[in-house]
Chain A
Amino acid sequence: MLEIKNLHASINGKEILKGINLSVKAGEVHAIMGPNGSGKSTLSSVLVGNPAFTVTEGEVTFNGKDLLALSPEDRSREGIFLSFQYPVEIPGVSMVNFMRAAVNAHREYKGLPPVSATDFLKMMREKRAIVELDNKLASRSVNEGFSGGEKKRNEIFQMAMLEPKLSILDETDSGLDIDALRIVASGVNKLKRADNATIVITHYQRLLDYIKPDIVHVLYKGRIVKTAGPELALELEERGYDWIKKEFE
């Protein structure tokens, strides 16, 4: 599904990603772990086309398409979804209008007519239930005045609405208490299917207790330095990152 080859990317002339190689297949859950500043969030930003970053080398294909040649909106329409570490507040734009615009943009891309008002509301209701998102939140402005936990649940709600092929969860666990974490993780698990894939970016093992990864990678200084099964996450939890750092200093 996703093939990343020798990806280099920089921001303001500073190289952050220094040759990433990663292959994700349908049905898989990958965890990307690593210490602060290793490039985890940069990788997710580059994959969704954040204009702040410049790709200097390498290629990324998504279901056979050259991902890097696509606009951010077309990447989304092709089925890539990023759950933001810091979801953006958009005062004055209601969740309903925001989601309707997004769903209809996806439908138009597929050659489908806009969703009817009744179907859309039904869809909103069903997907809201997945992350136990209050109706009141859905009628408010996007993320405005939402608590940290509500914002993250709202990300997963949007994911449920858009049914992506590849979801990237960037530090979705940060700032969540244990109940919210459980709701968010269970939402992600409910959306898991044989034909979609997930990349979970996290510091901690904690989230991986709920979302079980098939493969765990360690990102350090802009490269993937270690790849193993779920046991690697447990080992990192126990021993920290220092032993890995030492190996690559």
Chain B
Amino acid sequence: MSMKAEQQYIDLFSQCEDLICRKSAPVLNALRAEAFADFEQLGFPSLKGEDYKYTDVARAFAPNYGLNLNRLEIPVNPYDVFRCDVPNLSTSLYFVVNDMFYNKALPKAHLPEGVYAGGLADFTQAYPEVAARYYGKAASLAKNGMVALNTMLVQDGFVLYVPKGVMVERPIQLVNIFRSDVDTMANRRILFIVEENAEAKLLVCDHSIDDVKFLANQVIEIFAEANARVDYYDLEESSVSTTRFSSLYVKQAAGSNVVVNGITLTNGLTRNNYHVSLEGEGAEVSLCGMSVLDREQQLDTYSHVTHHVPRCTCNELFKNVLNDHAIGAFSGRILVKQGADKTSAYQTNRNLCATRECRMYSKPQLEIYADDVKCSHGMTTGQLDENALFYMQSRGISRKEARMLLSVAFTSDVIDHIRVEALKDRLHKLVEKRFRGELAKCAGCRICK
């Protein structure tokens, strides 16, 4: 079974390598051979391994998905299917349709001098040196079959590049749209580079606008150079027939400050891998996520934060609310290397299970090889507080409404980690709508409506 799932991708690459390369860019092509060799050797992670116990990767990749290696134009105008009328959030709104950057009508955003927001293939032509310096440098091929697969097939993606000392005040928004009449696989890639003393915020929203099966295998590389301040927000509102494998890598230099916040409101099966490498003293990361899962939704979160040097801080907070037959998994590892003294590392995972049928698997882990550190981890999985529910009912609030208010409250501290006020307010409302069952099928980005 498992070899078979890999074989079709090995065959695909062997047969189409020329085409893939021709319709891409040299910087991307340069890593393909190595990625191919790694993928052949590693294959998909196995259910038998410790890290993929709850997500059957081979099974997700086994079906015959269509890939747009020819880079045929997808007949869709994202501005039509997707209207954005909140100027303070969306002056810089970009689209990736499946895995192609949509460059037909670029936003008339006034980005500061030197900032690049746009397609990955174009970026490698415009900034070949910067691209070569960063592309593939945070995501390690050799250890991860998913990254290797993405790297061998990826042809385009999105880049936000902020040079030294530049502050981009307003958040940049990228919308990933899945649009197809046939089952489709997308190899998405994001490169988010913030140089010394620079600052930027990126919000990425996922939407699936058709009912066919979608499979995304995406790699996100975030580079925070010395004293950079970086926000990455990920809002997943795809569809029950969308499967997503996401490998996010953060590389942080001294004094950098990064927030990563992943919110899943609608999906099918999602695996989010977060790898954070704290490589310069005084780097800080806040790694958060929350999900509302019901029906057969599944979210498997894996995080691995490595403290290489002294005086870095990591705050990790993941919360899940499960209902119906949903399945959640959390595996969090914080590794404090020898010599990484004065480390502060905190990890919390809390989950609510509303039914007997839903399942949550959680494995917090700390691995410490330094002496002088402050570290903690904690995990709870349980139900809503009956005393609080009764107290609210005794004031006339229906049990259903009380459950909703408590569920919203449960996840609100994750949203509070967002450093864009307008986005925070919107997400609080969006999450409440989700709990009220008012988010039916995705019909564009609700952030903007």
Contact = CB atoms under 8 A, between A and B. Distances in A.
Given A88-B391, A90-B388, A102 B406 contact: no
Interface in A37-89: 48-51, 71-73, 75-77, 81-82, 84, 87-89
A114 interface: no
B394 A48 contact: yes
B26 to A, nearest CB: 51
B401 interface: yes
B395 A102 contact: yes
Contacts of A158: 395
A215 to B, nearest CB: 25
A51 B85 CA distance: 48
Contacts of A89: 388
A175 interface: no
A90 B396 contact: no
B408 interface: yes
Contacts of A162: 395-396
Given A90-B409, A92-B409, A97-B405, A73 B391 contact: no
A31 to B, nearest CB: 22
Contact of B401 (A71, A75, A105): A105
Contacts of B405: 93, 97-98, 101
Interface string B196-215: 00000000000000000000
Range for the number of chain A residues in contact with chain B: 20 to 34
Contact of A90 (B386, B391, B398): B391
A75 to B, nearest CB: 8
B393 A76 contact: yes
Given A92-B408, A93-B406, A102 B396 contact: yes
Contacts of A77: 396
Nearest to A48: B394
A212 to B, nearest CB: 26
Interface string B395-429: 11111010001101110110000000000000000
A72 B390 contact: yes
Nearest to A109: B396
Given A90-B388, A101-B401, A105-B398, A73 B393 contact: yes
Nearest to B395: A102
A98 B392 contact: yes
A82 B401 CA distance: 20
Q: Which of the listed residues A48, A49, A89, A98 has the most CB atoms from chain B within 10 Å of its own CB? A: A98
B399 A73 contact: yes
B14 interface: no
Contacts of B15: none
Given A102-B396, A105-B397, A162-B396, A90 B390 contact: no
- Which of A49, A50, A92 has its CB near the most chain B CB atoms (within 10 A)? A92
Interface in A180-233: none
B396 A51 contact: no
A73 B398 CA distance: 6
A93 B391 CA distance: 12
Contacts of A84: 391, 394
A91 interface: yes
Nearest to B412: A92
Nearest to A94: B409
A91 B395 contact: no
A104 to B, nearest CB: 9
A106 interface: yes
A247 B388 CA distance: 40
A72 B388 contact: no
Given A93-B405, A93-B406, A105-B401, A98 B395 contact: yes
A81 B394 CA distance: 7
A105 B388 contact: no
B394 A82 contact: yes
B387 A73 contact: no
A101 B391 CA distance: 13
Contacts of A91: 409
Contacts of B390: 50-51, 72, 88
Given A81-B394, A89-B388, A98-B392, 13 more contacts: A51-B390, A71-B393, A72-B390, A73-B393, A73-B394, A88-B391, A92-B413, A93-B408, A98-B397, A102-B396, A105-B398, A106-B396, A162-B395
25 contacts: A50-B390, A72-B394, A73-B393, A73-B397, A76-B394, A81-B394, A82-B394, A88-B385, A88-B387, A88-B388, A90-B385, A90-B391, A91-B409, A92-B408, A93-B406, A93-B408, A98-B392, A98-B395, A98-B405, A101-B401, A101-B405, A106-B396, A109-B396, A141-B409, A162-B395
| 3 nearest A-B residue pairs (beta carbon) | A92-B409, A76-B396, A88-B391
Interface of A: 48-51, 71-73, 75-77, 81-82, 84, 87-93, 97-98, 101-102, 105-106, 109, 141, 158, 162
Interface of B: 385-388, 390-399, 401, 405-406, 408-410, 412-413
